[in-house]
Structure 1
Amino acid sequence: MSLDWIYWAISWILLIWHSAWDAIGVPATAALGTNWAWILSIIFLVITVRVILFPVFVKQIKSQRAMQALAPQIKALQEKHKGDRETLQKETMELYRKEKANPLMGCLPMFLQIPVFLGLFHVLRRLSPDNPQPTIYGWSLDQFTSASNAKLFTAPISGRFGSTAAQLNELGANPTTVKIIAGVLVLIMMATTYLTSRQMILKTGWAQDPQQRMIQRLMLYGIPASLLISGSIFPIGVIIYWVTNNLFTLGQQQWVLRKYPPPPTANLPGLPGSARTGTGGRPTTGGKATAPAAKPSGLFGRTKANGAQPAAKPAIDTKALAPKPGAKPVNPKKGRPANKRQG
């Protein structure tokens, strides 16, 4: 299947925003060796896509709430069909269908953004002065030349951490500068990707369903770790897109989670399938630690009706009463006065 329609769509949005910044007087080249018109075009490409996908993001939050509400039923199915994986999966999917819950909805916004990411990646890779087709996807020659020379702190937006010296020389860039800028952006990309997943899990808790929990762990740890390697092949412009997208997600999630707070029974990270715990590991209600129940005291744990504790009997030292070694046994009957008969 051809992806040209994606490349045309991404190019169109970029060019529309670049024309807007030109119209309001944003200079093509400004301080710090940065072409702000093109940088802002990439940033507002993110905003455009996220505004379009906002209804999907709200559905994602609602789906997560539905999954949390089904957690007790899922746990009961796991206990009922322990060891019967096929039956468990069948009845779990039937429960999802009956309650109209979709466990994959949590990843849908990310999946929908993949075509945008791939489209921008493809378009930026073509930004080279030596490209024999500079007017493809609706670009004019002037727009293509301007974008090919666009830089962030003197590093071309089409440059990559893994670019060869020959490729960077074609772009008129300093290889050391490109690697520093790209490397810092990759680290920021990893950090913000981790924070977006962590923020969601802190607010909604770990899922009871093993599949959902596996997806959460993959998003929390797996994806940021993979960016350490894959980030070296991303053009700087794509990394700008990714970081901006993560920052937008952090703000959007904060707003949505405040407007639609998770249920109070949501689990916290580190405690999958259990209640929230406070200081000392005691379960809490509403975030406040509850005191442990008082243990009954007294003989056999019984107390008097009025709540007073029965008096403790003095302890008897049996060793002190035992006869000493070598001592003659004492007959307790001896030494007692004989009973006198009453006359």
Structure 2
Amino acid sequence: MDTIASLFSFITTPVSWVIVQFHKVYGALFGDDSGWAWGLSIVSLVVLIRICLIPLFVKQIKSTRNMQVLQPKMKAIQERYKNDKQRQSEEMMKLYKETGTNPLSSCLPILAQSPFFFALYHVLSSIASGKKIGAINQDLLNSAREAHIFGAPLAAKFTDSVEKVTALDASLTDVRIVTAIMIVLMSASQFFTQRQLMTKNVDLTVKTPYMQQQKMLMYIFPVIFAVMGINFPVGVLVYWLTTNVWTMGQQMYVINQNPTPGSKAQDAYLQRVLKSVTSHGEVRGRTRRKMVKAIVAKGSDRNDIERKFITGLGKLGLAAQEDGSVAKSETATAEAEGGQAHKRQQPKRQTKAKRQTTGATAGGAKEAEPAAAGSKTSLQKKDAPQDDQPKSAGKPASGSSRQAKSGQRKGPQRPKHPSKK
């Protein structure tokens, strides 16, 4: 352990120094040996690290947006190679390479936090073992060992023995209750963060490897952290729970302010914008105008949610402008009303029994028409004058009423030439 800690001293020393600086501030308020002073120092360390990781988070958002732009192309590849999964994967990877998109970019913040997590783990493990590390001297070491959070020492673990917990002046029951609650909260916050992303901020009309990856992480990560959590000191659990809560809040803000096109979050966002336009007659807010501007620029490539928003503006007698604002437009109102009228004029689908009844009635009518036509023709023939009937030369007209012999044409025959009698 000492060898590993010495190899990573370039990480543990800065982390321990930052904790010491925060402890000086909170120690003046709560006391140097207070668990709140050390606990808030760890929370402040998390906040500082996450602020430093904001550029990576912005890069993650951009990569996510690139994935959203590629959704139609991904869907086309899926439909084209739906029977060849290997070719489908190859075409997907080719598309990622051409556009410079990395589907694994969502893991960047977690990977970037790993060194700090490792450093904090070694700092707290050294405190539990009574060893000085980095910027923590003997006085600070003794103070940290006496610090408790809800009765559990910062350096205690769920798997610690009774003797070790007693040496830290604590009860094993208190340690296990506190650590169990923190592990559950840590895993639940991890799961909720991923689930929020999958259910609200993803276009579910297109299934991609990216979505499958996110779905897998949603179930795997909470289990991993729950299993690993029993070996984490209380201080590390405070660190990880804080970073999960930060991630969850940060993601909620992004979903509410910049949702993914085609997602449920976009539908809710545009409904809020439409409600605001109804109340104030204009698009308020720079972010909202930017969103409306992007929808106008899409033109015919808008998704169903965006078309619904444009139609809603038309019902209000408004039309979205290229700069993201709205203006009164009678044309938009007419188009919205015309679309509704056309939709109302569509015939209802008949039941199978009704279609069969209608078909039988139509068939009977068709059969009745030739019969009626035949009757009409026979009546016409019956009523016709006798002079109009063709007669055979030298033979009475009654011969035409006899049936035609085999091989002869039916109906009236032409008179034979006198020389052939």
Q: What residue ranges of structure 1 are gaps of 5+ in the alignment?
A: 269-282, 303-309, 317-343
- In structure 2, the partner of 1:37 is 37
Q: Note the C-alpha offset of 1:20.
A: 2.2
Q: Secondary structure at the match of 1:138?
A: coil
CA distance in 1, matches of 2:351, 2:93: 53
| 2:387 corresponding residue in structure 1 | none
For normalisation by structure 2, the TM-score amounts to 0.60
2:26 to 5, 21, 27: 21
Answering whether residue 176 of structure 2 is matched by residue 179 of structure 1, we say yes
Query: Match for residue 260 of structure 1?
Result: 258
In the alignment, the residues of structure 1 paired with residue 347 and residue 9 of structure 2 have an alpha-carbon distance, to the nearest angstrom, of 71
SS of the aligned residue for 1:126 comes to: helix
CA drift at 1:298: 10
Contact in 1 for aligned 2:74/2:208 (Cα 8 Å): no
Change (3 A) 1:255 1:296: closer
3-state SS of paired residue (1:127): helix
Cα shift at 1:231: 1.3
Q: How many residues align?
A: 283
CA RMSD of aligned residues (A): 3.3
Aligned to 1:217: 215
1:240 and 2:245 are equivalent in the alignment: no
Choose between structure 1 and 2: higher helix proportion: 2
SS at match of 1:215: helix
1:150 to 134, 147, 151: 147
Structure 1 residue 27: deviation in Å?
1.9
- Structure 2 residue runs without a partner (length 5+): 266-302, 310-339, 365-421
Within 1, Cα distance between the matches of 2:225 and 2:105?
23
CA contact (8 A) 2:198 2:215 kept: no
Q: Residues 296 and 189 (structure 1 numbering): CA distance in 2 closer, same or farther, change over 3 Å?
A: closer
Q: Is the 8 A contact 1:190 1:224 kept in 2?
A: yes
- Pairs within 5 Å for 1:85-100: 85-100=85-100
- The reply on whether 1:295 has 2:380 as its aligned counterpart is no
Deviation of 1:190 after TM superposition, in Å, equals 1.2
How much has 1:206 moved relative to structure 2?
A: 5.9
Amino acid in the other structure paired with 2:64:
Q
Contact 1:206 1:213 in 2 (8 A): no
For 1:123 and 1:152, locate their aligned partners in 2 and report how far apart those are by CA, in whole Å. Answer: 17
* In structure 2, C-alpha distance between the alignment counterparts of 1:164 and 1:206, rounded to whole Å: 49
- Structure with the bigger RCO (C-alpha within 8 Å, sep 6+) is 1
Stretch moving more, 119-128 or 205-214: 205-214
Give the counterpart letter for 1:160 in structure 2. K
TM-score by length of 1: 0.73
2:13 pairs with one of 8, 16, 23: 8
CA deviations over 1:103-155 (Å, ceiling 9, x no partner): 11111111111121121111111113x53x42x21212111111121110121
Asked whether 1:121 is paired with 2:121, we answer yes
Q: Residues of 2 paired with 1:154 and 1:82: CA distance?
A: 58
Is the CA contact (8 Å cut-off) linking 2:146 and 2:153 kept in structure 1?
A: yes
CA distance in 1, matches of 2:264, 2:76: 17
